[in-house]
């Protein structure tokens, strides 16, 4: 039935043994995710976002990891779809928000002023009272709202439940929390939301950044997105910067910020603290990797 529904309405599908395997696998994943929520088996790693002009770390993006008792560290893309389908994304997402705000607060208490960026999935915006979850995370940590940014993906704005999404987004922005569009260029939404929604930043998807210097079309896309962001008065950040040549291209094109292995990998909190102390707000105007080398 679910397979049929997934293919659209007014259809029929015959049951196959493969479906049974898929159903069992999904059930097993769901029950171990449920256990993980109960046992608190999640952790966050943090990846610095660097201002290209002044060469300092402005913020870090919180990235979720599942510390599985047998399988080790599991990346988010292997379990977030299951978490969304089962509704477990709500408790997990609320934990991510609270923990990310607590980390930013701990850095603040150490004299490190850094913004924190948190990924939010469409399921959270649609089903969770996200605005109140955000308000609670801010209130319990005392983090100034302007230091928190939520990353939403473009595809959220093509959903039929748009209105709910827009209302939630407006409510969150009204609190002073910033909004970024993640993986920009990979969705297929109309650009109208750029003028309708209080978006602060556009994040260029790493698939366009990867081939910079080798693929003229990707260079043109990146250049256009930077131009678009500037026209709309938004900040623009390039994701997945791994090489000096990509960094130089982005700098020359006037991109404001970048994030990627070239600067730093996602780091556990303590390692990130060290990184921020070394390359934080007082850093000179040079990219981190070159400073380390020289
Ligand atoms: P994203 O938000 O676009 O995050 C960027 C991803 O690119 C991260 O993968 C990061 O580790 C990886 N990355 C960073 N720099 C580089 C680089 O230079 N090269 C390459 N090849 N990759 C780089 P990660 O941590 O596996 O996260 C994957 C996706 O999972 C995220 O994409 C985001 O959409 C989602 N996600 C992560 N944490 C959460 C969360 O707490 N909640 C929700 N709803 N989604 C999350
Ligand atoms: Mg993100
Ligand atoms: Mg992204």
Query: Of 42, 239, 289, which is best to mutate to test ligand 1, by the most ligand atoms within 8 angstroms of its C-beta?
Result: 239
CA distance 293 to 284: 14
Report pLDDT for 285: 42
Ligand 1 contacts (CB < 6 A) are 47, 63-64, 75-77, 80, 96, 119-121, 151, 182-183, 206, 239-242, 260-261, 266
Which ligand lies nearest the alpha carbon of 62?
1
Residue minimizing CA distance to atom 25 of ligand 1: 63
Question: Using the 8-state DSSP alphabet, how is residue 86 labeled?
Answer: H
Question: Could you tell me which residue, 175 or 27, shows the higher pLDDT?
Answer: 175
User: pLDDT by residue (tens digit) across 31-59?
Assistant: 999 999 999 999 999 999 999 988 899 99
Q: Is the dihedral of CA 47, 49, 54, 58 positive or negative?
A: negative
Taking all residues of the chain, what is their mean pLDDT, rounded to a whole number? Answer: 88
pLDDT, mean of residues 55-77: 94
Check whether 180 has a pLDDT greater than 60.
yes
Q: Is the pLDDT of residue 272 over 80?
A: yes
φ, ψ of residue 179 in degrees (nearest 5):
-125, 135
The predicted-structure confidence for 108-145, as pLDDT tens digits, reads as follows 999 999 999 999 998 888 876 899 999 999 999 999 99
Rg (CA), the chain: 20
Which helix H or strand E contains 132, and what residues bound it? helix 130-141
At a CB cut-off of 8 Å and minimum separation 6, what does 112 contact? 273, 276, 277, 280, 281
- For every residue of 255-292, DSSP letters joined together read --EE-STTT---B-HHHHHHHHHHHSTT--SS-HHHHH
Mutate-to-test residue for ligand 1 from 63, 123, 154, highest number of ligand atoms within 8 A of CB: 63
Ligand nearest to the CA of 77: 1
pLDDT value, residue 186: 87
CA distances from 164 to 104, 157, 177, 190, 193 (A): 29, 10, 18, 17, 14
- Over residues 77-87, mean pLDDT: 92
pLDDT at 89: 94
Written as six digits, the tokens of 77 are 């893309």
Task: With H, G, I as helix, E, B as strand and everything else as coil, classify residue 160.
Answer: coil
The number of the ligand 1 atom at minimal distance from the alpha carbon of 259 is 15
Farthest-apart Cα atoms in the chain, separation: 65
pLDDT in tens, 142-161: 999 999 999 998 877 766 56
pLDDT band at 222 (very low <50, low <70, confident <90, very high): very high
Q: Which atom of ligand 1 is nearest to the CA of 153?
A: 34
pLDDT at 239 > cutoff 80: yes
The strand pair at 72-74 and 115-119 is best described as: unpaired
């Amino acid at each position: 039935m679910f397979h049929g529904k997934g293919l659209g309405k007014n259809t029929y599908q015959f049951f196959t043994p493969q479906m049974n395997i898929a159903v069992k696998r999904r059930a097993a994943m769901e029950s171990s995710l449920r256990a993980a929520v109960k046992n608190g088996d999640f952790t966050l790693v943090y990846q610095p976002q660097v201002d290209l002009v002044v060469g300092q770390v402005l913020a870090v993006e919180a990235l979720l990891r599942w510390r599985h008792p047998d399988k080790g560290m599991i990346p988010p893309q292997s379990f977030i779809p299951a978490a969304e389908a089962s509704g477990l994304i709500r408790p997990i997402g609320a934990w991510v928000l609270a923990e990310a705000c607590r980390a930013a607060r701990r850095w603040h208490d150490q004299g490190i002023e850094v913004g924190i960026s948190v990924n939010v999935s469409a399921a959270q915006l649609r089903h969770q009272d996200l605005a109140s979850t955000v308000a609670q995370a801010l209130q319990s940590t005392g983090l100034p709202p302007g230091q928190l940014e939520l990353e939403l993906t473009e595809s959220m704005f093509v959903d039929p439940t748009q209105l709910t999404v827009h209302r939630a987004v407006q409510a969150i922005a009204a609190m002073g929390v910033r909004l970024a569009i993640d993986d920009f260029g990979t969705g297929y939404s109309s650009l109208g939301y750029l003028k309708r929604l209080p978006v602060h930043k556009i994040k260029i998807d790493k698939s366009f950044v990867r081939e910079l210097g080798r693929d003229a079309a990707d260079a043109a896309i990146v250049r256009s997105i930077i131009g678009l962001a500037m026209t709309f008065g938004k900040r623009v950040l390039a994701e997945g910067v791994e090489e000096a040549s990509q960094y130089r291209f982005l700098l020359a094109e006037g991109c404001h910020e970048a994030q990627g292995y070239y600067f730093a990998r996602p780091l556990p909190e303590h390692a990130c603290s060290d990184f921020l102390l070394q390359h934080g707000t007082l850093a000179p105007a040079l990219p981190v990797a070159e400073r380390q080398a020289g």
